[in-house]
Amino acid sequence: MDMSRLKAAEKELPRYKKTLIKKDVVIIGAGAAGLMCAIEAGKRNRSVIVLEHMDKIARKIRVSGGGHCNFTNINLQPDNYLSANPHFCKSALARFTPHDFISLTERYGIEYYEKEKGQLFCQGTSGEVVRMLYEECRKAGVEISVDCRVRSITKAGHFKVSTNLNKIEASALVIATGGLSYPELGASDMGFRTAQRFGLKVTQLKPALVPLVFSRQDLEKFSELSGASFDAIVGCRGRQFRGEVLFTHRGLSGPAILQVSSYWDKGDKITIDLMPDRNAYELFMSKRRRRTELSNLLSEYLPRRFSHRWSELNAPIRPLCQYTEKELKDIAHQLHHWTIRPAGTEGYGKAEITAGGIDTDELSSRTMEAKKVPGLYFAGEVIDVAGQLGGYNLQWAWSSGFIAGQYA
C-alpha cells in the first residue's frame, strides 16, 4: 500500500455522527500499542473500534527515529526498562519479541538496517510502518475513527464511551493513550485520569529521555559552548551510559544524557567520564616533561572550546611540566569524574517518553487487564514501563498491545 493510498484512506476514516455503536472492544488511542492491540483483537473475530482524537493515526510513529522509525532493538533485555516493578514487562516481551515484529515487517517488504547497538530503522520512512499497521487493521476488520474526542467513560456491565461523534458500548475497553511527551502530537493525561477514575493507582510521572538544564551558575560557565559535543560515559544512581554528550543553549543533551535523564531526579548529580578510552593520569605522566599547556593537550581529545573552558575552571593555567604529580592525579580524577548537578529537565515538550504511569501492581502482566476492573485493559507508554533510548519503547508498545489484544 503506497503513501497516496494511505492518505486517501485516512480521509475516508469515519467522522460522522451515530446514535450508538455496539462493539466487542473499544480502544482509545491509535498509536503503536492501540493499533497492535486492535489488529490482534480483530484477528480473534472481535468487533473493534479505535478512537483517535487527532486527525491522523500513529503520529508519534511518523516522527520516530528522525522519520525512519527505530521500530525495535534486537539486543532487547528486561534490564532496558525502568519500572517500579522491573519484572512486569518480562512476560509481554517474551511473548511478542523483536523478531516477531521483524517478521511482520518482512512480510510487507519493509527494508531495514541496524544503525548501532541493535537498533533497527526503516531503510525508507516511518510511513511504511504506519501503512503496514493500517493494512493489518483493515484486514482484521478494525474500524478507526479519527477526530474523535472522548467526553466521558462509564461502566455498568458494559463500558459506555461518549465522544463528540458518537456513543460506543463495548464489553472491553483498552486505554492506549500514551504519555505526556510530544504535546504537539496530541499527548494528554487522559489515560492517567481514566485509570484514577476507576480507582487505579498512577505512579509519579516525569519527563524521560529528555535534555537536562544547567543551574544558573553552570549556565554562566558553559553558555558559550552550545553545539560542542564529545563521547563520554555518563552516570547517575548507579546506571551508566556511553554516547555523545552535546552542549545546548540551556544545558546538556545527546544520547548519553537522554539515557541517564530517565534515572535522574531533582537534586541528583550526574558524573561524566570525559576520557572513557584513556587513563588521564597515565597520559599526563607520559607528557609531563612538555611545556604544553594542559588545555592544549586536552584539546587533542576533547573539543577545543570545551577543553579550554574546563581547564580554566579546574586547573591552574601553566605548562604541564610545572604541575606536581599530586596535582596531575587530582586533575585526572576530575576528568574521569566531572560532576554536574542539573537544575531540571527541558520538560515534556522535549521528552521522548514519560516515565511512570499506571501502577503495574494494578494490572495482570499476563493479560494487561486491570485486576479491579474486569474488561479494562492498558497498553503502551501509559503503563509504568519506560524503555531506554534505541527502539525499546516501540517494542514495549508492540508487545503490550499484542498481549492486550489477545484477551480484550
* Amino acid 11: pLDDT: 62
Contact between 386 and 356 (Cβ < 8 Å): yes
Total Cβ atoms within 10 A of residue 79 = 9
Q: How far apart are CA 88 and CA 257, in angstroms?
A: 26
Q: What is the DSSP string of 34-52?
A: HHHHHHHHHHTT--EEEE-
Q: How far apart are CA 146 and CA 59, in angstroms?
A: 12
* Amino acid 317: pLDDT: 85
pTM, 2 dp: 0.95
Identify the structural domains of the chain with CATH numbers, from first to last. Answer: 3-206+355-407 (3.50.50.60), 212-345 (2.40.30.10)
**Per-residue pLDDT averaged across 35-57, rounded?**
98
**Per-residue pLDDT averaged across 325-332, rounded?**
96
Nearest CA to 337 out of 208, 212, 256, 233 is that of 233
Rounded to a whole number of angstroms, the CA Rg of the chain reads 25
Asked if residue 4 has pLDDT above 90, the reply is no
What's the pLDDT band for 316 if we cut at 50, 70, 90?
A: confident
Q: Is residue 173 classed as helix, strand or coil in its secondary structure?
A: strand
pLDDT tens by residue, 144-196: 999 999 999 999 999 999 999 999 999 999 999 999 999 999 999 999 999 99
pLDDT tens by residue, 262-294: 999 999 999 999 999 999 999 999 999 989 999
* Amino acid 12: pLDDT: 61
Asked if residue 1 has pLDDT above 60, the reply is no
Provide the Cα torsion 360, 361, 362, 364; round to 10°.
Answer: 80
Q: Is residue 291 classed as helix, strand or coil in its secondary structure?
A: coil
Q: Which of 138-142, 233-237, 314-318 has the lowest mean pLDDT?
A: 314-318
Contact between 250 and 212 (Cβ < 8 Å): no
- Residues 6 or more apart in contact with residue 144 via CB below 8 angstroms: 13, 14, 30, 38, 49, 50, 52, 57, 137
User: What's the first-to-final CA gap in the chain, in angstroms?
Assistant: 28
| Mean pLDDT for the chain overall | 95
* Amino acid 172: pLDDT: 98
Contact between 346 and 385 (Cβ < 8 Å): no
The H or E element that residue 349 is part of is none
Nearest CA to 140 out of 9, 11, 41, 1 is that of 41
Contact between 307 and 315 (Cβ < 8 Å): no
pLDDT tens by residue, 370-407: 999 999 999 999 999 999 999 999 999 999 999 999 99
The one-letter code for the residue type at 95 is R
Kindly state the greatest CA–CA separation across the chain. 86
